[in-house]
Chain A
Amino acid sequence: MTSTACFIIVSRNDIPIYEAEVGSAAKREDAAQLHQFVLHAALDIVQDLAWTTSAMFLKAIDRFNDLVVSVYVTAGHTRFMLLHDSRNEDGIKSFFQEVHELYIKILLNPLYLPGSRITSSHFDTKVRALARKYL
């Protein structure tokens, strides 16, 4: 488990629809906003890279000091962004793939409007469990 990890799902309109601090490190107020800043800034890089490859997992695309941003882009251009400080690419890939499955389940919910915030607590617990498992 990484000490710092921040997972955000960003809709195609650059709106964060799900946010979770999944790191084991103690939560700090200013860290959360730094994470948002770093992930937000990485959107530019995602924009560039997403169209250069057919793979969904873009690997580590950006870094800020010792924080690395790994991104997974779904077919609908929803971006799963993970900010982490560990180098465990396989784990991150598996994490993204499983979250993708969860996300598709959310999308299949007829009451969920695509692009709106994911409020399902079930999703949240699942994501956190996956984070514990893979990261």
Chain B
Amino acid sequence: MADPASTPLGKMLLEEITPVVMVLCTPYVEESCLKNGLSLIQLLSPFCDFTNIDVPVRTASDQPYRLRKFKLRLFYSSDIRQPNLEVAKERLKKVITHVGEKNFLESSDPSQVNNLLSRPESEMLPSWFQFFNKELVRTLSFSDHEAFDHPVACLLVVSSKDDEPVNRFVDLFNTNKLPSLLNDSAMDPKIMKHYLLLHDNQDGPFNKATKLLADMRNAFGQNDCQIICFNSSQDGKIHHQDNPWAPFKSDALPTENLGCFLNLDDLNEIKDFMQELSSKHIIPYMEQKIRVLNQQVSATRKGFRNQIKNLWWRKGKEDTIDTPNGPVYTFNSIESQIRILGDYAFMLGDYELALSNYRLISTDYKLDKAWKRYAGVQEMMGLTYFLLDQSRKDAEYCMENAFNTYLKLGSAGRRNATRCGLWWAEMLKTRDQLKEAATVYFRICGEDTLHSAVMLEQASFCYLLSKPPMLHKYGFHLVLSGDHYKKCDQIKHAIRTYRSAIPVYKGTTWSLIKDHVHFHIGQWYALLGMYDVAVTHMLEVLASTHQSKTTQELFLRDFLQIVQKTGKTFEVLKLQLPVINISSLKVIFEDQRTNASAAAASVKESLWHSLEEDMIPSSTARSNWLELQSKIIPRKYKESNICVAGEALKVDIEFKNPLQIRISVSSVSLMCELSANPEEDANSSNNEVQNNEDRTSTSSGDINSCLILSEVGFSLEGGETTVVQLTVTPRIEGILKIVGVKWKLSSAVVGLCNFEFNPVNKRVVRGRRKQHSPSSDLKFLVIKSLPRLEGFIHSLPEKTYAGDLRPLVLELSNQSKFPVKNLKMKISNPRFLYAGNQKELNADFPACLKKKMNVEKSGSHANVNKTLQNLFHFPEDISVQEETSLSWPLWFHAAVPGSIPLYITIYYEMEGVSSIMKYRTLRMHYNLQVLPSLDVSFQLSTRPSRSQEFLLRMDVVNKTTSECFQVHQLSSVGQQWEISLLQPVDSILPSQSLFAGQSLSCFFMLKDRRRSSTSEDSIPSLSHIQSDVRLGPQDNSEAFFDVSSSPLADFHDCERSSQGMSSQGCEYKVDFVFIAQLPKGNRDSSSNAPLVFSHHACDCSPSSMSPISWLVDGPRTIQHNFSAPLCEVNLKMTITNSSDAIASVHINTFDSPSSNNQPIDDATTSQPPEHQSGWSEIPIVNDTKIITTEALTTRVPKSLSLESVPQYIWSGTSSTKLVLQPRSTAEIPLQICVFTPGIYDLSNYVLNWILTPVNDGENQGEANKSSGVCQGYPYYLSVLESNFKD
């Protein structure tokens, strides 16, 4: 380690703990000195510091040593007293304030912690700390418990102008004027005196002075009197190059010429005097005193005997004296003398001697409980240890002991503790124990807030300088210090400390800390009136989501207040309030693709793309990949998005309020730049007029400019998120760039947000943007205004019931000056909507659906193909002229319940308007809510007895909650079927209307007309065929709805195709259309006509119907005389093959009904006994009732197995096989033998059939059913005993 004396603490000690010389002077002396702008002490002070005095010193030991450094401290006698506390404080405060002002102006913030650390240490540590500490230590000088501030000598100065200088000398050392230290016997009043006669050369000749000196020498002794002549310069023009007085006169003005009358000779004279005073008088005096005192101390205290005596004596004294400050020691008490001895030794650099004496006295003081003195001695011991550079531990222990002891004294020792702490901290700093030093500084903090603030700041620097730097602590202590400064109204200091802490807390996620720092800096800057800076700091805390509601309110309120005080509207680039979700940015623009509504814009582009695929020419224009599109459209147009002048671009932005309080946002608008298109300008001459000015308007909604910007205002509740749609409408061609968005918070601050700042993925709805940079997504080529069709479907219901059938009108209006033509339309869901004929536009609904008497069937299915492709071409001659509109009928049918999206896109072309765009499309999107209405289900079953007739059961359930439907009609589609009611509806449903929740079941007879026609060999005219059945009032003459004409038939085809049916079905599949009506006035519809509901059911077929049907025919009742052995009954089975394949049928008869598998075996084994009665339980089976084959198979074993008595046997063939040609019928004779009278169920036979397809062109459904087994159905035969006997 370096020499302790050269460390900061060592230097400080060598400066501060030095002999004090009391100066007494007459007013004339001061007057002479003041000519130079200096007081006497100031004049002499520069010459009191001897860096190389080189004086041999011999203290207690016999070995002399050489003293190198020596310093005298000069004080006026009036200053030798304990400084006034208030004055001292005031002075310190002034020092701090002064520094604060100075530093505040020139402070520059290091923005990074690294920068902070990279600076040299000396630069980092503010120099004023040293100064402040010195001042603080000085406030404690001349305390009575320490001896090093006691004057060693007294310098009496008298001017040669004074009358009777010798008497003046005597007067000067008058006890009345002497400081209290000498008077109250705290120190020895007999101190060394030195007499100085000051002669001002301006006042007179030197010889008078020499005479006076001679008198003085006579009076006070030869050696102790001296004379100084000064002010030798007459004109006072002497300018000292390096002003020696500057450090001693801090308040000197720079213009002031200090020492102007002193020439070089004067200075040398003063210098020599001071050197002589110290080396010839003061040092020898001190040496001598040390020796004397040392002898005394040795005599009384050294040695074993003295120690014992002392100990015993003090023990005895313990009981008697117990004052709070301990006993009072006069200067001649041995304790004081030891202390003086120690201090003198210390001042003369004999630290060993000093230490031994301090040790000696400290135990005494401790025993005497003279705590303050004890602490003082401990403090000195610590310093001595330090200067001896021995035993660090002891030094620290002593300092800590002293510090704690001072603290124990309470407020009395507080300031001493501060001084001790300062020294201690310095000591630790010297030894690179910065962390400990910081702790000491922290402990110094006491009741004086201002001093604490400085101490805390010093502590923070200790943390900063420690290795490794403890930045967290640094920041914390800076903040603490700032708080203390603020409490003392040292706002500038407070701001400075907080600002120094910012780099530490920069980017921290300790949110409360960050908020605290920034909020307070902001507040304090506002207090100073520096609102601009205040605002920037307040901005940091604005979006503090983690804070409580009250804090957020406070932040916002203060922020707005500050902004208000600035008196201008701030434009803040990164205003956090409200938060803009950049990724939510959505730009909706229209090039050739236009939207009829906002809903259409939100639909996925791919959906439209697939819809428009075969409609727009762009895909067809590019026949192969070599022919790039860039040939068709200039390259630069491809790269940027295109929009049309006069048409608004919409931008959706999401704003979020992160706070819990309400904020109001106003004047939200886009920031856009519209610049001339450079290439366009070069080519065309049209724009030349506007070329001259650079049309770059970034400003807000200036109507006259070429941009129209929308402004939106809203307020956000806490945590609320809202999406705002902003629009910009370019009015002229050029290149439009959306730069960002701006808004006004609480109508005070303007927030700006540039979209380019965050290159996060932006969702641009339109446009192919893979090859684009994000910024070019916001760049648009504005082209000349083009016609734009507006499309609207009138009275399209948002909510309707399933089955709703109605005409709608599509209105296309053209606002522009140019006609459009070549219209095409495509509808995504033709089940719900398709285009009608123009002549249907004004047709009367629903009358137009009714059957006309003169039916023209031609062209009814003309647009089947059209609807299947969903593409509707408007007639060639249709065009929408300028500023007109076109209406076109549409048919609407709510096919299925649910939420149904409808997409309609209309293609149109315009001619000669733009080279870039030849066509446009209009996209419309509607969402329908279709509620379930009537649930219609059909069940078709064959009539077992009649193969060409079917029984149709229709179940209708009203699933609505409130509506009441009127059933109207049921129609079968096509000419093939004849339908008739089995019983009139009146009997089932007298009111003809179906109320909510009600259900209806009707039975119909369905006849295959084609079949019947073959059998009957007559072709009935078509008009007579009843393919419709009226379900409504029978007397109603209202015509049927024509299911085979345009809208119904078309929708039916759609239904068929959507239900996955081919239009050529099997002949046994029937399609039904059920039509109901909702009476007028029930719905809140504008039209009075009843609403028509059509329900389509396709491909109804008898459940599990086999292609083979048969009929057993024969007598039902037979009378037989059973005296004859048996009764033979002949039956006939007619088998029909209704399929298109060759069927081979195998009829197995078996006598036992129990099992199908082993019919013959069972029949033989379980031969019934004769006596048993043939009357067996017969299941009550109604002939009219439909019994499916499955039902029979289950029933047969169950009902008859118990009896299991076949009362008849099949005679003749038990197994018959035959082959049936497609659609042919065959008859097979059957015979049974009956033995007893009874009723017989002739159902125990089985038909096995196998279909062999004629060709492979059969559909899959038929192929699956290529073989099957059918159980026979019941045929009841009653055999009676004939009464008469032959």
Genuine A/B complex? yes
Residues of A within 8 A of B (CB): 14-16, 29, 32-33, 36-38, 40-45
Once bound together, how far apart are the Cα atoms of A16 and B546, in whole Å?
13
Q: Is the CB of A16 within 8 A of B472?
A: no
6 shortest A-B CB distances, which residue pairs?
A: A41-B476, A44-B470, A33-B512, A15-B509, A36-B512, A44-B472
**Cβ-defined contact, A16 with B548, below 8 A:** no
B1257 to chain A, nearest CB (A): 58
Give CA–CA (A44, B473) in the complex, Å. Answer: 7
How far apart sit A43 and B516, CA to CA, in the bound complex (Å)? 19
Interface pair B509/A37, CB less than 8 Å apart: no
- Give the Cβ gap from B455 to chain A, nearest Cβ, in Å: 15
Q: Are B472 and A41 closer than 8 Å at their CB atoms?
A: yes
A33, B513: Cβ atoms closer than 8 Å:
yes
Closest to B463 in A: A44
Identify 8 new A-B residue pairs, CB closer than 8 A, beyond the known A40-B510, A45-B470.
A16-B509, A37-B513, A38-B476, A40-B472, A40-B475, A40-B508, A44-B471, A45-B473
- Is B551 in contact with chain A by the CB < 8 A criterion? yes
Contact residues in A for B470 (Cβ distance below 8 Å): 44-45
Tally B residues with Cβ within 8 Å of A: 20
Is B479 an interface position by the 8 A CB rule? yes
How near does chain A come to B10, taking the closest CB pair, in angstroms? 29
Q: Are A36 and B472 in contact (CB under 8 A)?
A: no
Q: In chain B between 204 and 237, which residues have their CB closer than 8 angstroms to a CB of chain A?
A: none
> What are the residues of chain B within 8 A of A16 when measuring CB–CB?
509-510
Give complex CA distance A33, B476 in Å.
Answer: 11
Q: Which residues of B contact A40 (CB under 8 A)?
A: 472, 475-476, 508, 510, 513
Say how far A47's CB is from chain B's closest CB, in angstroms: 8
List B contacts of A44 (CB < 8 A). Answer: 463, 470-473
Residues of A within 8 A of B463 (CB): 44
Interface string of B458-478 (1 = CB under 8 A from A): 000001000000111101110
**B residues near A32, Cβ cutoff 8 Å:** 512
Q: Is B515 an interface residue (CB 8 A)?
A: yes
A113 CB, nearest partner CB in chain B, Å = 15
Which residues of A lie under 8 Å from residue B475 when comparing CB positions? 40-41
Shortest CB distance A39–B (Å): 8
Contacts of A15 in B (CB 8 A): 509
- Whether B548 and A43, one on each chain, are in contact in the complex, defined by CB atoms closer than 8 angstroms, is no
A-B contact pairs, 20 of them (CB 8 A): A14-B508, A16-B510, A29-B548, A29-B550, A29-B551, A36-B512, A36-B513, A37-B479, A37-B513, A37-B516, A40-B472, A40-B475, A40-B476, A41-B472, A41-B473, A41-B475, A41-B476, A41-B477, A44-B463, A44-B472
Closest residue of chain A to B476 (Cβ to Cβ) is: A41
B364 to chain A, nearest CB (A): 36
A37→B510 CA distance, assembly (Å): 9
Check A43 against B472 for contact (C-beta < 8 Å): yes
Q: Which residue of chain A has the shortest Cβ distance to B504 in the bound complex?
A: A40
The interface residues of chain A lying within 8 Å CB-to-CB of B510 are 16, 36, 40
B476, B480, B548 interface centre (most CB from chain A within 10 Å): B476
Q: Which residue of B lies closest to A42 (CB)?
A: B472
Chain A, residue nearest B509 (CB): A15
CB distance from A60 to the nearest CB of B (A): 15
Which partner residue on chain A sits nearest B477 by CB separation? Answer: A41
Q: How far is the CB of B212 from chain A (nearest CB, A)?
A: 66
Q: Tell me the nearest residue of chain B to A29, going by C-beta.
A: B551
Contacts of A41 on B, CB cut-off 8 Å?
472-473, 475-477
Q: Is the interface of B mostly helix, strand, loop or mixed?
A: helix
Most chain B Cβ neighbours within 10 Å, of A29, A41, A42: A41
Q: Which residues of chain A are within 8 angstroms of B473 by Cβ–Cβ distance?
A: 41, 44-45
Min C-beta distance of B413 to chain A, whole Å: 21
Q: How far is the CA of A103 from the CA of B740 in the complex (A)?
A: 44
Q: Shortest Cβ distance from B839 into chain A, in angstroms?
A: 64
**Which residues of B472-525 have CB atoms within 8 Å of chain A's CB atoms?**
472-473, 475-477, 479-480, 508-510, 512-513, 515-516
Chain A residues whose CB sits within 8 angstroms of the CB of B548 once the complex forms: 29
User: In whole angstroms, what is the CA distance A14 to B508 when docked?
Assistant: 9
- Cα A38 to Cα B512 with chains together (Å): 12
Task: Using CB atoms, name the residue of chain A closest to B469.
Answer: A44
Contacts of A43 in B (CB 8 A): 472
Report chain A residues within 8 Å CB of B480. Answer: 37
With A16-B509, A16-B510, A44-B463 in contact, do A33 and B515 touch (Cβ < 8 Å)? yes
Q: How far is the CA of A36 from the CA of B513 in the complex (A)?
A: 7
Q: Please report the C-alpha to C-alpha distance between residue A36 and residue B472 in the assembled complex, in whole angstroms.
A: 11
Q: Nearest Cβ distance between residue A63 and chain B, in whole angstroms? A: 10
The docked-state distance in angstroms from the alpha carbon of A104 to that of B456 is 39
CA distance A45 to B463 in the complex (A): 11
Contact with A along B525-557 (1 / 0, CB 8 A): 000000000000000000000001011000000
Kindly name the residue among A16, A33, A36, A43 whose own CB sees the greatest number of chain B CB atoms within 10 A: A33
Cβ < 8 Å to A, chain B residues 161-187 = none
Chain A residues with CB below 8 A from B551, complex form = 29
- Docked pose: A15 CA to B509 CA in angstroms: 6
Are A37 and B476 in contact, CB atoms less than 8 angstroms apart? yes
Contacts of B477 in A (CB 8 A): 41
Most buried by A among B471, B472, B477: B472
Minimum Cβ distance to chain B for residue A32 (Å): 6
User: Which A residues lie within 8 Å of B472 (CB)?
Assistant: 40-44
Q: Tell me, rounded to whole Å, the shortest Cβ–Cβ distance linking A51 to chain B.
A: 12
Measured CB to CB, the closest approach of chain A to B305, in angstroms, equals: 49
Report the bound CA distance from A39 to B956 in whole Å: 76
Distance of A41 Cα from B513 Cα, bound (Å): 11
For residue B548, which residue of chain A has the nearest CB?
Answer: A29
| CB neighbours of B550 from chain A (8 A) | 29
User: Most chain-B CB neighbours within 10 Å: which of A15, A38, A44?
Assistant: A44
Q: Which residues of B contact A38 (CB under 8 A)?
A: 476
B660 to chain A, nearest CB (A): 15
Whole-angstrom distance from the CB of B554 to the nearest CB of chain A?
9
- A14 surroundings in chain B (CB, below 8 A): 508
A38 to B516, CA, bound (A): 13
| Chain A residues near B509 (CB-CB < 8 A) | 15-16
Query: For B513, what are the chain A residues with a Cβ–Cβ distance below 8 Å?
Result: 33, 36-37, 40
- Beta-carbon contacts under 8 Å, B224-252 to A: none
Q: Which residues of B contact A45 (CB under 8 A)?
A: 470, 473
CB distance from B518 to the nearest CB of A (A): 12
Cβ distance B1131 to chain A, nearest Cβ, rounded Å: 78
Q: Which residue of B lies closest to A41 (CB)?
A: B476
| Shortest distance between the CB of B246 and any CB in chain A (Å) | 41
Which of A36, A38, A43 counts the most B-chain CB atoms under 10 A from its CB?
Answer: A36
| Distance between Cα atoms of A38 and B475 in the complex (Å) | 10
Tell me the bound Cα distance from A38 to B480 in angstroms. 10
Cα–Cα, bound, A43→B508 (Å)? 13
How far is B473's CA from A5's CA once the two chains are assembled, in angstroms?
Answer: 20
In the complex, what's the smallest C-beta–C-beta distance from B492 to chain A, in angstroms?
22
For residue B550, which residue of chain A has the nearest CB? A29
CB distance from B463 to the nearest CB of A (A): 7
Residue among A14, A32, A38, A40 facing the most chain B CB atoms (10 A cut-off): A40
Min CB distance B237 to A, Å, is: 59
Q: How far is the CA of A16 from the CA of B509 in the complex (A)?
A: 7
Chain A residue, CB-CB nearest to B554? A29
Nearest CB on B from A99, distance (A): 20
Residues of B within 8 A of A36 (CB): 510, 512-513
Per the bound structure, the CA–CA distance linking A37 and B483 in Å amounts to: 13
Name the residue on B nearest A44 (C-beta): B470
Most buried by A among B470, B477, B548, B550: B470
Considering the chains assembled together, what is the distance between the CA atoms of A45 and B439 in angstroms?
Answer: 13
Task: Please report the C-alpha to C-alpha distance between residue A29 and residue B515 in the assembled complex, in whole angstroms.
Answer: 12
Which residue of the partner chain B has the closest CB to A36?
A: B512
